[in-house]
Chains A and B, each alone.
Chain A
């Protein structure tokens, strides 16, 4: 009996995960022709009419998959009783706990998906099952996000479509539908300020102001289908996906082991997690408002190292700014300052590398970079001084010429006076 039950369960699972029957699926690339949309778009009840109206834009419908592909029934039948006959597999509204399986019926079927895109991933369900959402759903929590919560149920657009709720610049507002709801999040022990914090971050600025679609949004750190918070030990791996050089520098630092021992998340300890604001050189130190003070205190070797690092950086930044002003002023006055500008760029690069080396917390490494920057800045400063001297020389030359001309005017005036006296 147990054997029979197991076999039945397996058959059901296989059925649930099987691709839709051929009659519900048309040729790829050709919009689906079904009776469902023809009838439903004429219905008065908005709840039933809306899906039919959205079908024209829906990625599935445009690829020949009819409504019956998900809802079952007979898409060719003109009579409602026949079209929506439960004996023909019609299920009507799909309950949330069934949504992942319904979608996965096709999306986990590699050979089926191959018809649409040879590179399309088919592991979404497997990932979803490991996610906080999937684990919650497995426990019977129907408030967690399923496929339709993020992608929509009808009128689903490809993620590359800017109107899609999972388009990079729109993901944060999609996640915010639940994650900005503090009372809902409180039930899961989540503060609910994550969206607000992220919207103040440099990442959000890059995404929305600079329209840099490669800037990280929620799914880039948490995963998309397998959404879950990165563990303390994996934070540097997550950030290091993009910030490779900072991660390498951090791995060289004594902080790496110390943070692991203290169970402190690496990057997050100084940069925060969601509210990643542009870092400042002034952050380095143990005074109030400076990040090193979280663990170090004045007088300890860490605080001394921080002081040396901050001093080296600020000194270089100040000089760089002063030299840039002199160079730009000379350029505005008409001098060709190309070489000095290239040197300023070189100094800027050295400063960027110095800031990267801050993650090693080794003052010697940072100072080596800032000294490199200072050397280049000295050359740019010499160029600016030479340009200023040339401008001053021109100034003096013109003053002398002015004097000579004025003397000639006076001499001529005297001559005219003499001439007119004679006449």
Chain B
């Protein structure tokens, strides 16, 4: 008996793994014309895994204080063997993870996969996207460079617009009146402890729900035969992950993530301060709003509208009755395209400098 088989038998005799293998052999996933859409959830998970590994490696050298943060990242990029690679991959993977999560969310929305019985999967997914944005926002400040510092100052300032508790929330978030070393330490704690813990729990729940309920089956006429989970789907997923890895390597090679200048809280804010791309549509919209709308602060109205819009999107399984009955919903389709076009156009126009 070969060594591999012997190990398998030893494990199987103790853990009774045969039913699991049988389960994997029998498991299948649905197929349809656009089944590329199935891979973006897995791809998001892959990038999250990359973030966890590279994040842990960065933690070995990173120092979360205003005095040492920038220098420690500089040290990682210059003196630590392959530190530059780890940091560049961490930065790019963060962006790709959020991009993959957005694509995943829209594919789920357009395929109507969120309706009963998968409401909880949709809601946990939406919460995971919010956590991913939280990761992006808190991680952006950590290198303590000029752009990150001022973008965080602008970003956290939005919180102060929340009626009644805005000022208190701002102080809690910043750890004081302004963005300082206290903010950095706070963001670090959120980035490496609170968010990973919540995200891991929610991912487990999200995956458990998918496993329990199976993937959403689209209405195909004529129906396509399902695809075996193992090895066909797994190998396809692996290929997508490799493409993700190739995208990471390409971005790190052709657009190495730069460090910029160290933040100087006393320097004037440089021109053209912008948040990360995934916040741009909100940032530009708030900038376009007039100072006063119906006698209320324009930004407050804008933030209230975003909150209401986000809640409406989140509650899609409750208002989309047509899809729940298995019918086509023109309203849901219009909402989906409207939101997608709005986000894409505002982000693109911001990069083209139309709003300046």
Shortest Cβ distance from residue B297 to the other chain A in the assembled complex, whole angstroms: 37
B77/A334 in contact, CB under 8 A = yes
A408/B242 in contact, CB under 8 A = yes
A423/B228 in contact, CB under 8 A = yes
List residues of chain B with CB within 8 A of the CB of A420. 232
Contact of A335 among B77, B250, B252 (CB under 8 A): B77
Contact of A336 among B79, B232, B238, B256 (CB under 8 A): B79
Binds B, one of A39-47, A234-242, A392-400: A392-400
**CA A415 to CA B236, docked complex, whole Å:** 10
Q: Which residue of A is nearest B225, CB measured?
A: A423
B78/A334 in contact, CB under 8 A = yes
B258/A332 in contact, CB under 8 A = yes
Asked whether any CB of chain A lies closer than 8 Å to the CB of B180, the reply is no
List residues of chain B with CB within 8 A of the CB of A401. 249, 253
Shortest Cβ distance from residue A405 to the other chain B in the assembled complex, whole angstroms: 4
A419/B74 in contact, CB under 8 A = no
Which residues of A207-250 are within 8 A (CB) of B? none
Interface residues on A, range: 20 to 34
Contact of A332 among B78, B87, B231, B259 (CB under 8 A): B259
Q: Mark A244-276, 1 if CB is under 8 A from B, else 0.
A: 000000000000000000000000000000000
Asked whether any CB of chain B lies closer than 8 Å to the CB of A413, the reply is yes
List residues of chain B with CB within 8 A of the CB of A332. 258-261
Asked whether any CB of chain B lies closer than 8 Å to the CB of A402, the reply is yes
List residues of chain A with CB within 8 A of the CB of B246. 402, 405-406, 409
Q: Which residue of B is nearest A334, CB measured?
A: B77
Q: Which residue of B is nearest A406, CB measured?
A: B246
List residues of chain B with CB within 8 A of the CB of A423. 228, 232
A419/B232 in contact, CB under 8 A = yes
B252/A416 in contact, CB under 8 A = no
Q: Which residue of B is nearest A401, CB measured?
A: B249
B242/A398 in contact, CB under 8 A = no
**CA A334 to CA B85, docked complex, whole Å:** 11
List residues of chain B with CB within 8 A of the CB of A419. 231-232, 235
**CA A409 to CA B75, docked complex, whole Å:** 34
**CA A412 to CA B241, docked complex, whole Å:** 11
B236/A409 in contact, CB under 8 A = no
Q: Which residues on B are within 8 Å of A, measured CB to CB?
A: 73-75, 77-79, 84-85, 87, 228, 231-232, 235-236, 238-239, 242-243, 245-246, 249-250, 252-253, 256-261
Please provide the 10 A-B residue pairs with the shortest distance between their CB atoms, ordered closest to farther. A398-B253, A336-B78, A334-B77, A334-B259, A405-B246, A402-B249, A412-B239, A409-B242, A401-B249, A336-B74
